[in-house]
Structure 1
Amino acid sequence: MDNSATLEQLKLAQKELQLQHEELEKCSQELRIAKKKLNNREKEKDESIKELNSNLEKMMYIICHKVRKSVANILGISVLLQTDTNLGTEDWKEMLSIIIKSAQSLNVATEELSKFIHFSKVDDDAIED
């Protein structure tokens, strides 16, 4: 009778161990799935960062080009206005118009840059979350 009770306890313990083993296997599988999801999320985050950097480079190139062109226009015309004493009223008006257009272009370029920085910041915050 004593052996029978011990055998029964061993069988119960074996069943309990089997259930625990199955539970551990289930947890292990869930961990593998979670790891894959985390790896995928990291890859997505890396891709988003690369895309953001690429967009930043493109935007900086565009803004730089616009700014340089406008500044060159303003500087060139300023030198002409300062040095050429034979300019008539129409010449002054035309050059002033170019200066105004260049200043407006600078204003637009800085607004575009500001918006891009703002949207990049918003995207960057989303990437971190």
Structure 2
Amino acid sequence: MKPTKEQDILKESIALMETKLARKLILANKKSVSKNEEIEINSKDLILVNNELGLQYKERGILTAELILANKNLAFQYEEKEKRASELVIANIELAYQNEEKEKRASELAIANHELVFQNEEKEKRAVELIIANKELAFQKLEKDIRSSELIVANKKLIFKSQEREIRKAELKILNRDLKIAEENQKEYVRGLEEMMFMTSHRVRQPIANIIGFSNILDQSINSPDDLKKAIASIKESALTLDAFTRELTTFICKLGRKGNNKKGK
């Protein structure tokens, strides 16, 4: 350990006192040698000096003990200072590290601020774009509403047209049904006409042919009243057959006419 200024001052004061005492002893010895007579006189002074030296030695011991204590105290303080110095070094290193971290954070904050400024600018741009987009969406919504109203009108027209088509389909079904019925009636009418023609060509012509034949017999070969009676009876029978068929044909023609009238009414 290095001595402090206080220790140096104490040592110098002690050295000065020792030198003073040594000088006094030297002078005293010289006086005792040169002046034996004065020994007795000066013995008292020497006793006083010795007493003073004893006191000084005692003081010196006290000072030495105090110096030892002061040195111990100084050593303790020096150790404390070294500890504090090491702690200060560590604290300085920590502060330097913290300053570096602060600088890094400051640079990061600066970068983050630039980034925030850029983001704010981007947000403002996007806000403007969103406003424009919202206006565009509002315009598109208006157009959609107009188109939806037009579509509703068109749908109503389509529904009306589809209803008209359904009505027309129903009418066509009814017409087709009526046409089928009319075709059936026409076929029945044609069949009736064909049957009437068949009946006319067979059932009418047969009695007429019989009447003609019996008339020719009457003209040519009537020799007796019995033959005349037979011929007249045959003619009468053919006439009655022709009359019955004529009535039946009249009834058939009336029925066929009613079917025709029903067909026209429908």
Gaps of 5+ in 2: 1-138
Partner of 1:98: 234
Matches within 5 A, 1:40-55: 40-55=177-192
- Residue 52 of structure 1 and its aligned partner are, at CA, apart by 1.0
Q: Distance in 2 between matches of 1:45 and 1:119?
A: 16
CA contact (8 A) 2:207 2:238 kept: yes
TM-score by length of 2: 0.42
Partner of 1:29: 166
- Whose RCO is larger (CA < 8 A, sep 6+)? 1
CA RMSD of aligned residues (A): 2.6
SS of residue matched to 1:73: helix
Q: Structure 1's 66 and 14: CA in aligned 2 closer, same or farther, altered over 3 A? A: closer
Q: Structure 1's 106 and 15: CA in aligned 2 closer, same or farther, altered over 3 A? A: same
Matched residues, number? 128
Q: Distance in 1 between matches of 2:156 and 2:251?
A: 58
Cα deviations across residues 44-82 of structure 1 (Å, max 9, x unaligned)?
Answer: 212211221112111221232122111121122222222
Q: Distance in 1 between matches of 2:182 and 2:222?
A: 60
| Worse-matched range after superposition: 114-123 or 16-25 | 16-25
CA contact (8 A) 2:218 2:228 kept: yes
Larger radius of gyration: 2
Percentage of identical aligned residues: 26
Partner of 1:62: 199
Gaps of 5+ in 1: none
Q: Distance in 2 between matches of 1:108 and 1:69?
A: 13
Partner of 2:68: none
